[in-house]
Amino acid sequence: MRLSVIGCGYVGLVTGACLAEAGHEVICTDIDADRIAKLKAGQVPIYEHHLDKILTAAGNAGKISYTADAGEAIRFGEAIFICVGTPPRHDGSADLSAIDHVAQQIAAEARSPKLVIEKSTVPARTGIELQRALTAYSRGGNGFRVASNPEFLREGTAVEDFFHPDRVVVGVEDQAAAEQLHEIYRPILERRFTCPVHTGKCPDTQKAEFLVTTISSAELIKHASNSFLALKISYANAVSDLCEKLGANVEEVTHAMGLDPRIGTQFMRAGLGFGGFCFPKDIQAFISLAATVGVDFEILKAAERVNKQRIDRFLEKVSKALWVVKGKRVAILGLAFKANTDDIRFAPALEVMRRLLEEGADVHACDPEALEKAKKQFPQAHFHEDPYQALQGAHAALICTEWDQYKKLDWEKAGKVMARKLIVDGRNLYTPAKLREQGFEYVSFGRE
Ligand code: UDX
């Protein structure tokens, strides 16, 4: 099928690339002409495993193309995926102005009926407003049907998540839209694609369910799912604080909890808390959506509060260990909001760095992928490609992102260059006993 993708960020590029790889003809557009120029030149503007490979293959096969001309893109596709940003506004509600702008473009440029698919994360009832806007902007034209198709991909594993979804959720007003979306996803649902992630045979996981519901329910499923995952992390972090007070081990506690399939072991890793461009803003948007209909989402407000306090908890551990922070050389290992991405949006590590710099610490940071982005925001800090250079002369090593590189770090070697063998681990990356055997002072979350 001929498909258009408007917005070439994480969701748009991964969606376009994977649907092209699955056999559809895809055109991508973005208001950032520079980003389109880069894509046309074969450069991928985001760091995401496998994405460059499939964009190149789809480009060579003539399955994907890019244009800065939104009209051209809009006229191309039978279905249009809206994948623009919905950043938080000052009150936490989602800013939908980019979606509205796309609606005006579609109404002005389309020359044939279109299925307009929301893929951006939006509050419930956005689709109904979008349908109304498209009708109004096209002066009563009825060539547009709106559907919702929320995305659940995680940064760092986005391509794998797209090809191996747990479920494909579509929100529609009519059966025809559901059938058209099923056709779009048929290659994924029937696993008729060359998987760029698993060379040879893909894991024999359960086939994804194709779930058809209303537009508002589909929109709500996204916010509710992300907010629940964030809630789970905050719950594990609250239990972690209790473990510290009661002399228990949060890892053993959450592991045992997770063995109950009603709870599940995933997303219960205690530590510095969640960041990234999804959880923090989706919780806020969900709380603010609930408030507009008189629902006080206290439980999510508590999850957000617990998450914000992770930084305080962490810095309390650092101050307690260092006594005086001012003038101390502190190495920060990891800046990205999680491993396997270069994304630093709402990354807990940046808040840690900002607060330490404020206290007069001499901050030396490293990250395998996110260094350039962080440098722009913190000119007063020192940045190192090599973690051992960041650790040189350090009075403390602070682990802020769970990169494999840091899991495998040679602490014997690191200990020799540090001024003090002290580790404050914000991601519970190591086994306390092992590091203590190597002569380290070791502090982490929820463990003795
Ligand atoms: C998330 C959702 O997982 C995804 O389904 C949705 O489409 C977009 O938002 P993402 O933001 O890429 O994806 O990151 P995710 O892997 O979910 O991690 C979010 C944050 O939670 C990270 O900062 C991570 O470090 C933290 N986290 C995750 C924990 O602190 N503990 C955990 O157990 C898991």
- From CA 369, how far away is CA 121, in angstroms rounded? 26
- Going from the Cα of 274 to the center of ligand 1, the distance in angstroms, rounded, reads 6
Question: Tell me: the pLDDT tens digits for 71-88?
Answer: 999 999 999 999 999 999
User: Which band of pLDDT confidence, cut at 50, 70 and 90, is reported for residue 143?
Assistant: confident
| pLDDT computed for residue 346 by the predictor | 95
| pLDDT computed for residue 109 by the predictor | 96
Q: Tell me the H-state helices in 61-137.
A: 70-76, 97-109, 126-137
- Going from the Cα of 293 to the center of ligand 1, the distance in angstroms, rounded, reads 28
Question: Tell me: the pLDDT tens digits for 224-263?
Answer: 999 999 999 999 999 999 999 999 999 999 999 999 999 9
Packed helices 215-246 and 250-258: angle between N→C axes, nearest 10 degrees: 140
| Ligand 1 mutation pick, 157, 222, 278, max ligand atoms within 8 A of CB | 278
- From CA 307, how far away is CA 346, in angstroms rounded? 12
Nearest residue by C-alpha to atom 33 in ligand 1 = 267
Nearest residue by C-alpha to atom 32 in ligand 1 = 267
The beta strand positions in 156-278, using DSSP E, are: 167-171, 209-213
What value, to the nearest 5°, has the Cα angle with vertex 274 and ends 325 and 282?
135
- Going from the Cα of 281 to the center of ligand 1, the distance in angstroms, rounded, reads 12
- From CA 150, how far away is CA 127, in angstroms rounded? 12
CA separation (Å) from 269 to 76, 105, 206, 230, 255? 45, 44, 25, 11, 9
Amino acid identity, residue 252?
E
Q: Dihedral, CA atoms, 46, 51, 53, 56, nearest 10 degrees? A: -70
Nearest residue by C-alpha to atom 6 in ligand 1 = 152
- Going from the Cα of 429 to the center of ligand 1, the distance in angstroms, rounded, reads 16
Nearest residue by C-alpha to atom 19 in ligand 1 = 274
pTM: 0.95
Q: Is residue 203 predicted with pLDDT exceeding 90?
A: no
- From CA 118, how far away is CA 219, in angstroms rounded? 9
In the block, residue with structure tokens 């046309």: 40
Pairing of strands 64-67, 144-148: unpaired
Nearest residue by C-alpha to atom 20 in ligand 1 = 274
Q: Which is the closest atom of ligand 1 to the Cα of 339? A: 25
Nearest to 425 by CA among 266, 264, 251, 254: 251
| pLDDT computed for residue 142 by the predictor | 67
Q: Is residue 396 predicted with pLDDT exceeding 80?
A: yes
- From CA 218, how far away is CA 235, in angstroms rounded? 26
Q: Count how many Cα atoms sit within 13 Å of the Cα of residue 386 in the half-sphere of its side chain.
A: 7
Protein residues with CB under 6 Å of any ligand 1 atom = 151-155, 226, 229, 233, 267-269, 271, 273-276, 278-279, 337-338
Question: Tell me: the pLDDT tens digits for 206-230?
Answer: 789 999 999 999 999 999 999 999 9
Percent of the chain with pLDDT over 90: 94
Q: Is residue 294 predicted with pLDDT exceeding 90?
A: yes
- From CA 119, how far away is CA 117, in angstroms rounded? 6
Contact, 267 vs 233, CB < 8 A? yes
CA separation (Å) from 217 to 118, 128, 426? 13, 12, 36
3-state secondary structure of 257: helix
Average pLDDT over all residues of the chain = 96
Active site residues: 278
b/e sequence 108-117, b meaning 16+ C-beta within 10 Å: eebeeebbbb
Strand partners, 396: 330
Token reading at 195: 């998987």
| pLDDT computed for residue 220 by the predictor | 98
Phi/psi for 149 (5° steps) reads -145, 75
Pairing of strands 2-6, 79-82: parallel
| Ligand 1 mutation pick, 10, 229, 310, 346, max ligand atoms within 8 A of CB | 229
Nearest residue by C-alpha to atom 13 in ligand 1 = 154
- From CA 73, how far away is CA 134, in angstroms rounded? 17
- Going from the Cα of 203 to the center of ligand 1, the distance in angstroms, rounded, reads 22
| Ligand 1 mutation pick, 263, 338, 404, max ligand atoms within 8 A of CB | 338
What is the chain's length?
448
- From CA 174, how far away is CA 384, in angstroms rounded? 55
Q: Which is the closest atom of ligand 1 to the Cα of 152? A: 7
User: Which band of pLDDT confidence, cut at 50, 70 and 90, is reported for residue 342?
Assistant: very high
| pLDDT computed for residue 349 by the predictor | 98
- From CA 344, how far away is CA 401, in angstroms rounded? 11
Token reading at 181: 């979306």
What DSSP letter does each residue of 161-187 carry, written as one string? Answer: HHHS-SEEEEE-SSHHHHHHHHHHHHH
- Going from the Cα of 154 to the center of ligand 1, the distance in angstroms, rounded, reads 7
- From CA 17, how far away is CA 83, in angstroms rounded? 13
